[in-house]
């Protein structure tokens, strides 16, 4: 059996805000870059002039290393912080992920290409891939992911693991309640013995980007405008003195302007915002001391109550309606706050594990790195939870570990020697994803005829299933072999197709999506 260091696996975590990529066994990802892409219609690229395309690029150094552009059919994609940092006429900034689901696979390919070939400088054919997936990921999304990895990138082996499970592993726990607050959403997912309890997962569209937009609108309502970096230049009038001159680019898209503003506003949020100790009250915070922040154009702004009000939207979404210019606030108001989501999720779990979940609440994600968020959540939960519950919110003191907890969990998992038997090759990939469509039909039809126990053969391998498993449990996602290989129950053994006698137990290392 090979160890994790010998297989040099690559771990990928494509989040709603950033993509993290690196080698298994390392303590942090090698590459972290935005999970949005710049997109220009190919016709516009051909007619685009150098005068209006932002800073000129030396053709000798070319755009491979600088622009990370990917020509895909009728549009050209620009991936990575550097490529997105240059303003280009007619360039739209699009996110391939919406509500936790991939909606633009072409953009995802561009992101993966950038990670492999320009950040890690590796050939994906030579490295097994562990991919993190949302707890609510669908079977169709898994199949598409496997198809791309095996058919386009020719990876030798693949594995998909749920975000919540990897976060739990990163903290050394098999059972926990994972509160993952990222860029696009906040998800509360209970993990028990290495499995996500799918029916108890709670989610909210309030994440880091929504808070950033709220902060931007609130500052603008007070006359503090955030200028994107491309919209001005600093001109030296005399030695040591500069004058800011506005630059007009009429062909700049609204999506690129919004992206550029978010980059600045996000930094403001991370620098000055912190969760208030008590629920935000307008009168109580009206005279709060202000904090200074210098914008890229040299303007210094003073931020007062907003640095407490914006984070409190996580706990009280109705605060969003008090901010001028925030759209769709009517959809936000009915949402639950973070403490209510936690309690709701735990109450949907079995009574026997609720006590353990209350004492193992893990904070993860970029938004969860906000100052005082851990203390405020623990305080609110102590007030709202049952008296018998021993509430304990756990979070790494290192903001980097909190931000990259999913990736770190994948790095730990893929480097374990005992995990190496869990990889799926293209030929065996029906175990996790039913990569071959006829395999799913064969196994399901056979299992349906024989009931909760029996044998089946898929691609020349014979399997024994169902012994000791509650009736109906195995058919929940119509994926039988996934449970056979990953369920971890001692009565499950793959049977060798050659001798019929070779048995091997699989440990419950990963989530099976039950």
| Phi and psi at residue 212, to the nearest 5° | -60, -45
Asked if 159 and 239 sit in the same domain, the reply is no
Asked if 118 and 231 sit in the same domain, the reply is no
Residue 239 belongs to domain with CATH number: 3.90.640.10
Asked if 18 and 140 sit in the same domain, the reply is yes
Kindly list the distances between the CA atom of residue 411 and the CA atoms of 10, 88, 369, in Å, as whole numbers in the listed order: 8, 36, 20
DSSP labels for 315-361?
A: T-GGGGGGSTT-TTHHHHTTSPPHHHHHHHHHHTS-HHHHHHHHT-E
Do 311 and 275 form a contact (C-beta atoms < 8 A)? yes
Q: Tell me: the pLDDT tens digits for 404-434? A: 999 999 999 999 888 888 888 877 654 444 4
Kindly list the distances between the CA atom of residue 89 and the CA atoms of 43, 252, 258, in Å, as whole numbers in the listed order: 12, 5, 15
Does the residue 168 lie in any domain?
yes
Number of domains in the chain: 3
Domain span at 474:
436-495
pLDDT band of residue 479 (cuts 50, 70, 90) is very low
Does the residue 164 lie in any domain?
yes
Q: Tell me: the pLDDT tens digits for 305-354? A: 999 999 999 999 989 988 988 866 656 656 889 999 999 999 999 999 99
Query: Does residue 460 surpass a pLDDT of 50?
Result: no
Rounded Cα distance, 331 and 297, in Å: 35
Does the residue 385 lie in any domain?
no
pTM here is 0.78
């Amino acid at each position: 059996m090979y160890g994790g260091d010998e297989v040099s696996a690559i771990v990928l975590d494509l989040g709603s805000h950033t993509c993290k990529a690196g080698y298994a066994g390392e303590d942090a990802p090698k590459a972290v870059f935005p999970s949005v892409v710049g997109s220009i219609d190919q016709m516009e690229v051909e007619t685009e002039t150098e005068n209006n395309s932002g800073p000129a690029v030396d053709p000798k150094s070319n755009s491979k290393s600088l622009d990370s552009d990917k020509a895909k059919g009728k549009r050209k994609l620009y991936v990575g912080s550097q490529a997105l940092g240059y303003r280009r006429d007619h360039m739209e900034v699009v996110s391939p992920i919406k509500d936790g689901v991939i909606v633009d696979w072409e953009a995802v390919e561009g992101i993966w290409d950038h990670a492999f070939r320009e950040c890690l400088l590796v050939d994906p054919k030579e490295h097994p891939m562990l991919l993190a997936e949302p707890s609510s990921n669908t079977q169709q999304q898994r199949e598409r992911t496997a198809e791309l990895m095996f058919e386009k990138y020719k990876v030798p082996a693949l594995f998909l693991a749920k975000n919540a499970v990897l976060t739990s592993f990163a903290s050394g726990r098999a059972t926990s309640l994972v509160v993952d607050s990222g860029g696009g959403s906040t998800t509360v997912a209970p993990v028990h013995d290495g499995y996500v309890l799918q029916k108890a997962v709670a989610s909210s569209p309030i994440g880091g980007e929504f808070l950033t937009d709220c902060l931007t609108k609130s500052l603008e309502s007070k006359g503090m405008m955030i200028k994107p970096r491309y919209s001005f230049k600093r001109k030296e009038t005399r030695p040591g003195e500069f004058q800011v001159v506005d630059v007009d680019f009429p062909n700049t898209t609204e999506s690129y302007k919004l992206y550029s503003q978010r980059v600045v506003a996000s930094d403001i949020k991370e620098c000055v915002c912190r969760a208030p100790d008590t629920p935000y009250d307008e009168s109580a915070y009206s005279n709060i001391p202000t904090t200074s922040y210098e914008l890229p154009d040299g303007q210094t702004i003073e931020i007062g109550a907003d640095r407490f009000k914006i984070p409190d939207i996580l706990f009280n979404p109705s605060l969003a309606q008090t901010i001028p210019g925030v759209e769709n606030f009517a959809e936000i108001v009915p949402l639950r706050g973070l403490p209510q989501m936690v309690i709701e999720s735990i109450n949907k779990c079995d009574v026997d594990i609720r006590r353990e979940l209350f004492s193992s609440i893990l904070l993860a994600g970029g938004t969860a790195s906000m100052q005082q968020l851990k203390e405020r959540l623990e305080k609110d939960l102590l007030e709202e939870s049952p008296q018998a519950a021993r509430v304990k919110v756990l979070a790494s003191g290192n903001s980097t570990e909190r931000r990259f907890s999913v990736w770190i969990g994948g790095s730990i998992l893929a480097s374990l020697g005992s995990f190496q038997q869990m990889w799926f090759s293209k030929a065996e990939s029906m175990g996790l994803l039913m990569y071959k469509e006829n395999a799913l039909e064969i196994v399901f039809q056979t299992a349906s005829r024989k009931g909760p126990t029996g044998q089946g053969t898929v691609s020349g391998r014979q399997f024994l299933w169902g012994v000791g498993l509650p009736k109906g449990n195995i058919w929940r996602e119509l994926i039988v072999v996934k449970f056979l290989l990953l369920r971890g129950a001692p009565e499950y053994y793959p049977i060798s197709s050659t001798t019929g006698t070779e048995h091997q137990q699989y440990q419950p290392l990963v989530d099976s999506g039950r």
